[in-house]
Structure 1
């Protein structure tokens, strides 16, 4: 029989040591015909980013422990490796140098340029393409470069814009697509997609085929001679296709975001198969799913997977390869068999030890907020089968503000949340106005309102939860990190409702933020 005890005082099988134990943090993926590569950051090795190589039935570490695969471009980094079946090229964190590692040999230098960082590596038979960030001139200069694999010789393909990303070369190696944007915009507000011809000397005839000051383009991908990408021109990051001398076409208009905010390099959401299909990660009302499009009929099919948070999508040997999680599934590297609709966990980020009777599954909440608008969140109720609460009592509530601010709270396995819900707390992850995954109009509601709209949404959320008897008004707590930490401070200044709060590396001095931010967030 369950014991009767006050909310918040239940004994949980999930200890603080288990909840705070570091999990692997997966980075990005890359594939070739016979193998794939990915990075994993290991807490047991002080966060070193190990490079892994594998197939559907085996995994192995590629590099000695003296190497950590990570780039400093944009500070947040992202993908900084690219490989074939027998050679991989990567950026080493300590010296920001590009190395090559051939099968059976030790890593050797390919390119070393002092005070220059590289990211978003893209490999062809002869060249390595990359985004370069030059810190040698005082002000940071960003460009697109091409590196000769035999000689290490570098030529600059494009420069003059404040930012570059996503160099992608077609199969014939005759054309390149890439993204640019300029101050004062962020890439989820304004980007431009370019296509240019490749020559021995560099590139020629660059043409901007999409984008502008009010349009965000993401995830360019070549398939045969067609370029696919996402654009938010109609209110959601939908998929478009470009063919030479042909107007742009929408693949399948829908109210789903197939793009995402560009904070890091190389986190892909589109992949093509060998049978005229395109795979895509789509986000609808903050929840991810896997979709398949027929490139001839344009039919869209939502694949029924158990996952609610996905990233880094590739096609590999009849499978969709991606990182995924759900409320009861820790983040894992997953291979989804496209014919059988079955999946295999290739690697897990952590062990799942909590009994199923103590797992809290979120309720998706839509609540009214200021100015007759609506906002969203995930409510995790207290859950522990060993306990029943006192009659007519309400649970203490922890409200969490995500960072970014253009991220969103996703449904995924989170020991930090389960630590509290299994002890009788309710936990609410708010997707305040400005969060991604709800369309452009919702994302834009935070413009010129940061620290105001998110603050108001937190207060309206608490009011909604109290009115619906989902939280104890006398036991409210608040937490957030980075920009979410700034939201915490803003809430505390304007409301005495919370009994406690924690800001993890939160922004507290806006003047200092303007003066000392790195280049990506300078404006």
Structure 2
């Protein structure tokens, strides 16, 4: 039986999506990989303190198992955003051997899940009392050497940039568990950043990617190749691709022993291969010319925020599984010899950069606007796909979920601005006659990143109450080629602000949104954009009535002066320009706090090493005596991005309260804004 939706003021609609539901479904599966016939991955656990559980799916068709119970947390803090936290290998007897990093102490552990005495993790690396200690990521097991090879991040002092990174070999015997000197260094620390090792199938070569300050990995990286001796010694490397203006995002080995990699040398991350022309063990390896596998104006990679991300995976038959697209990412199969690309069927609009291969089967993590992220397996021999784990379960009826539309708006100077628009949606309510709904403009983090068009219960929390949402891929976002990505260079706080405001103004002008009830929100770099938008009403045309700012960058001067972690410590060189105090102050929302007249909400994790709470506290101090309504919610124990269920729930309720208070929406409120009068 159906019924007509009843008119009701937008923002007051009853909804089955409460803050607890949002928190319970925050996070997704990640880091899927194959261990023989088994699948392993990590899974978010907001209700367990935000830890990530290590999951196992045996090859016998049984249900998924939690391989590591609480309090084990399969994460690491390499480059603070972390990298691939586990690796595994099958064994003839005794079950698989797994290694993983534990977030609490950052040590590398081994795990024998089928051991008769029980699965008790055993430490492989020591604890260091220096600075941020020793951290490990992006590992590969080398049982023939009795070692696990990985990236090591080692702090040499107390400052956030006092560190070195290199490839190391960790004994599987546990001999290095209390002795740093036992770790065997495979490379030196000449380069500031690097990805994990990729040994060739024949064990004769090793490939990895490096880059250095002030470049970020999407600016320019180098693909290095070295000979590998039988005793595990790494020879002198040569650069076979990449450079200051060419980004290599991933490297793998093909079925015939060729090097496969993604490069944006044409302005788009496409796939290439290079054959080895000299397979000697000694001396630098020799390679042939690079061959493009499929040239297209779309992306076969993305920004390398976490080492170990995998956008393509070779199969034994020579095919290559790829996630690719313009904007969103879909799964395809590439025949590298013919250059033919065939997409997998299905409704999923986004595939994560995590692929596992078992024979002819490819497993990835995929979602759509109506289904959350699931582990989906494609059998390349039959073309049949199925969900194998992390099955979507409807948390609420589907008719309460918005169906987004991908749109291209026109920004200043006629430039394109991409966005996903999520309209207010409810089977029970509709706007009152003549009423236009309020809209929230969301600026994603990064800023070198993008907004995936997938089921997001945080978005649905607002749309189901009658508040629309627009996710903006402003200039500087990935997914649309290097030229679109470079649009933000030197203009952070300008292009992003203008593009978001252009979407807001367009929605109002076309009659989709109420021009008097528009808000801006964002976290991290999106928090910068939200704050900069409120602090620059001239640039935005004063389009916003309020803003929600989470764990933001606010003070470029402080950020540049050891105010953040090493990975992003030179990011502003490209986003704003080489350090110039006057320029950085001119661009800073903090130093223009006096221009803020719209109410705002400020959310901050007190253990955030990337955007430390000092920046938020400086903004509050700058507003002392102001009558601008604002509320500050600090969260002890939270870092960059909220993981705990209670934090997520309180944050989303406070954001709704901001909109209701500002827009004059009469409804039950769980939070009220406070006016700062200091």
Q: Corresponding residue for 2:266?
A: 234
- How much has 1:137 moved relative to structure 2? 4.7
Distance 2:127 2:289 in 1: 41
Q: Is the 8 A contact 1:270 1:314 kept in 2?
A: no
Q: Corresponding residue for 2:185?
A: 156
> Counting helix residues as a fraction of each chain, which structure ranks higher?
2
- How much has 1:226 moved relative to structure 2? 0.9
Distance 1:339 1:43 in 2: 38
Work out whether 1:504 is the aligned partner of 2:521: no
User: What's the TM-score, normalizing by structure 1?
Assistant: 0.96
Partner-residue secondary structure (3-state), 2:493:
coil
Q: Corresponding residue for 2:439?
A: 397
Partner-residue secondary structure (3-state), 1:111:
coil
Distance 2:121 2:512 in 1: 56
Distance 2:234 2:460 in 1: 53
Partner-residue secondary structure (3-state), 2:196:
strand
What does residue range 351-366 of structure 1 map to in structure 2 within 5 Å? Answer: 351-366=393-408
Q: Corresponding residue for 1:122?
A: 140
Work out whether 1:99 is the aligned partner of 2:109: yes
Structure 1 runs (4+) deviating above 6 angstroms are none
Q: Is the 8 A contact 1:52 1:61 kept in 2?
A: yes
User: What are the ranges of 5 or more consecutive residues in structure 2 without an aligned counterpart?
Assistant: 91-95, 177-181, 278-287, 571-678
Distance 1:87 1:283 in 2: 35
Q: Corresponding residue for 1:40?
A: 43
Q: Corresponding residue for 2:241?
A: 210
Q: Corresponding residue for 1:198?
A: 228
What does residue range 12-411 of structure 1 map to in structure 2 within 5 Å? Answer: 12-55=15-58, 57-58=61-62, 59-85=64-90, 86-102=96-112, 103-104=114-115, 105=118, 106-112=120-126, 114=128, 115-126=133-144, 127-137=147-157, 139-150=162-173, 153-159=182-188, 160-199=190-229, 200=231, 202-224=233-255, 225-245=257-277, 246-284=288-326, 286-311=327-352, 312-348=354-390, 351-411=393-453
Partner-residue secondary structure (3-state), 1:305:
coil
Q: Corresponding residue for 2:669?
A: none
Q: Is the 8 A contact 2:407 2:421 kept in 1?
A: yes
- How much has 1:393 moved relative to structure 2? 2.8
- How much has 1:388 moved relative to structure 2? 3.1
Task: Describe the superposition over 1:205-226 as per-residue Cα deviations: whole angstroms up to 9, x where unpaired.
Answer: 3110000000100110112311
Distance 1:459 1:394 in 2: 18
What does residue range 384-463 of structure 1 map to in structure 2 within 5 Å? Answer: 384-463=426-505
Q: Is the 8 A contact 2:422 2:463 kept in 1?
A: yes
Q: Is the 8 A contact 2:6 2:429 kept in 1?
A: yes
Q: Is the 8 A contact 2:521 2:530 kept in 1?
A: yes
Work out whether 1:521 is the aligned partner of 2:568: yes
> Counting strand residues as a fraction of each chain, which structure ranks higher?
1
Distance 1:412 1:84 in 2: 33
What does residue range 487-498 of structure 1 map to in structure 2 within 5 Å? Answer: 487-495=529-537, 496-498=542-544
User: What are the ranges of 5 or more consecutive residues in structure 1 without an aligned counterpart?
Assistant: none
Distance 2:533 2:242 in 1: 36
Partner-residue secondary structure (3-state), 2:124:
strand
Partner-residue secondary structure (3-state), 1:158:
coil
User: What's the TM-score, normalizing by structure 2?
Assistant: 0.74
Q: Is the 8 A contact 2:139 2:150 kept in 1?
A: yes
- How much has 1:167 moved relative to structure 2? 1.3
Moved more, 138-147 or 23-32: 23-32
How large is the Cα RMSD of the aligned pairs?
1.8
- How much has 1:36 moved relative to structure 2? 2.2
Partner-residue secondary structure (3-state), 1:257:
coil
Partner-residue secondary structure (3-state), 2:29:
strand
Moved more, 180-189 or 490-499: 490-499
Distance 2:33 2:276 in 1: 27
**Rg comparison, structure with higher value:** 2
- How much has 1:433 moved relative to structure 2? 0.2
